[in-house]
Structure formats: C-alpha cells, structure tokens
Amino acid sequence: MHMSDALISPLVGGSMIIATSAVTGYSIKKIKYEYDDKRVSLMGVMGAFVFAAQMINFTIPGTGSSGHLGGGLLLSILLGPYAGFLTMATILLIQALLFADGGLLAYGCNVFNLGFYSAFIAYPFIYKKIISKGYSKKNIFTASILSAIVSLQLGAFSVVIQTVLSGKTELPFTTFLLLMQPIHLAIGIVEGLITAFVVSYVYNVQPEILEGNEKAEKEKLNYKKIFVSFILITALTGGVLSWYASSYPDGLEWSILKTTGKEDLEAKSSVHEYFGKLQEKVSIMPDYNFKNAQENLDEKIGTSISGILGSAATLGVILLIGYVVKRFKKINN
C-alpha cells in the first residue's frame, strides 16, 4: 500500500508530512524517557526483518492481486506503539530514498497509512484489550487477525480519502473504495496470521520481550536468542525468499488498475517533477534491482543485494537514532 507521488496533490502530501512529523516528534519524546540500549537494538533488528519481509508479495487467490506484510502491528506488539511507529517510519524512508518504493511527496501518507493506525489505534484498542485476558495461542491469533484487519481497512480508506482530497477524478470515490476495502480485507487476514505466528514464536522463545509483560525484569533481559534468530531469518528472507515474490500487482495497484486500466497515474506538476527527479538521483537500486538489469540472473542478484542492503541500512539508521537520543538525553540530564 505504498502510494506514489502521482496519487496525491502537493497540498495533501505536504499536510501529511507535517502530521507525520508531529507524531514522529512525539514518539521520539516518549521513547527518550523509556530509553534502553537493548530495546533500540531490538528496534533495529525487527526493522530489518520487516524491511525484508515487505519484499515478499503473496498472491491473493482468485483476484490477480497480491499483498505483503505491512509490519506496523507486529512492530507495535514487540516494541510498543511509539518505537513501532518510529521503526516503520524508518523502513519507509529507506525504501523511498534508496529503492524508489513509495514517493517522497507521499512519504507522510505512507507512514500514516501503514504506521499510525496500527500503532495508535489497532494495537492499543484491539490487540491489547484482547491480550489483556492472558497470553494464549487463541488470544494471540484472535488479537493479531482482528487488529491487522482493522489497521489495513483504516489505511486503505485513508488512501481513498487522500486521493479524493487530491482531486484525482480518475479514481471515483465509490468505485475506488469498493475495490480497495475488500482486497485489503483479504490482505489483512494474511497479515494477521503472519503476525500471530511471529508473536507466538517470540512468546515461546522469550516471552519477557513482549511489551507490557509484567514478569519482565528490564535490566536482566537478554535478547541474544531473538537477535540471532531474526538476523538469520532476515538474511534468508531478503537474500533468497525475495526471489519468489508474487509478480501480481499489490492491492493498491490492482485497485487502480481495475478503476483506470493502469497500475499508476501520471502527475505533471512542477512539484511532482521535482520530487521525481530528486528520488531518481538518490535511489541507488530502484525497484529493488540494478538500474540497468537485463538478465534474470542480474535480477535475482539485484533483489538479494537490495534485501540485504535495505535491511542493513534500516538497522544502521535506527541504531544511529538511538545513539542521538541517548546523547541528547545525557546532555539534558
């Protein structure tokens, strides 16, 4: 559900960047008081994993469409809402800058659609309410699936609203809405299942990691098992499994295609042109491949390098943010 710049007007894009920046600033302020070196490292490792996982599109049977893990809910469950939102914002920034996945002008929209609803609505008001009854396989799966469905439905609805406010008459509200919501319902169910499996694994290996676990003794936590396992899973996912991603358009592209006959729209304003050229300059591997890849082997190597490079960049940027927050906290103390 990564929006391109062509789907939104400069006014909507700019407004959403301001809104997202405000939430990001507030989230940084919150984690500053909850700062912990191991938690920041966990943010980096889980961010790297979600980056790699987002590269794998799964086919939605009978639709000709595909979906991928959003990851916002999973990050919120394992890290808490503020750290989860910041991690998602970092992932989307790396994707937009290095791989031209999602527009720079649309960055605020994408962070809000994929990060805000999962971190600050689905997680606290659905997932936590259900899981407060106790951790069990049934509760984890119920909470994960319902939360994923709600967050994706809200995100998909936001995309529709954002395009309408941007004056995209090529995407009539009713038609676009009736395509976006059902396809993202299916994607939400799959995301919920994936999230539940990952959370169940973490709970079985190190239950004290889960945010809100009252038995956790923060100073004694050792994340070694989770770090090692998720680093290996990330390398496998980004380096190899990404070769087998579905070639079908994702839910957003599919909805646009069904509405307009094209997978994306064109925007010709000077602002769109500026951001397009900027993204072209800064992206090193657009669409997760070499810029001039021609052979299948080149494509596979390019995909693997993209997965590993993007995951490593996500980890590095999050650790850098953690370092800056730590230094800022020391100065203010």
Residues of the chain falling short of pLDDT 70: 33-35, 211-222, 292-298, 329-333
For CA atoms 257, 111, 199, 147, give the dihedral sign. negative
Going by C-alpha positions, the residue among 150, 135, 146, 149 that lies closest to residue 199 is 135
DSSP labels for 105-125?
TTHHHHHIIIIIHIIIIIIII
Distance of CA 332 to the CA centre of its chain: 32
- Residue 72 is predicted with a pLDDT of 96
Residues 127, 75: contact at Cβ < 8 Å?
no
* pLDDT of 211: 52
User: Cβ neighbours of residue 101 under 8 Å, at least 6 residues apart?
Assistant: 2, 95, 287, 288
Helices 137-165 and 72-79: crossing angle in degrees, nearest 10, is: 130
Which domains are assigned to the chain?
5-213+223-332 (1.10.1760.20)
Query: CA–CA distance from 248 to each of 20, 64, 187 (Å)?
Result: 30, 6, 13
Structure tokens at 80: 């808490």
Which pLDDT value is given to residue 219?
46
* Helices and strands (H and E) in the chain: how many: 13, 2
Q: CA 36: distance to chain centroid?
A: 23
Q: What is the pLDDT of residues 37-46, one digit of tens each?
A: 778 899 999 9
Q: What is the pLDDT of residue 213?
A: 45
The tokens describing 239, both together, are 């380096």
The pTM of the full predicted model, rounded to 2 decimals, is 0.93
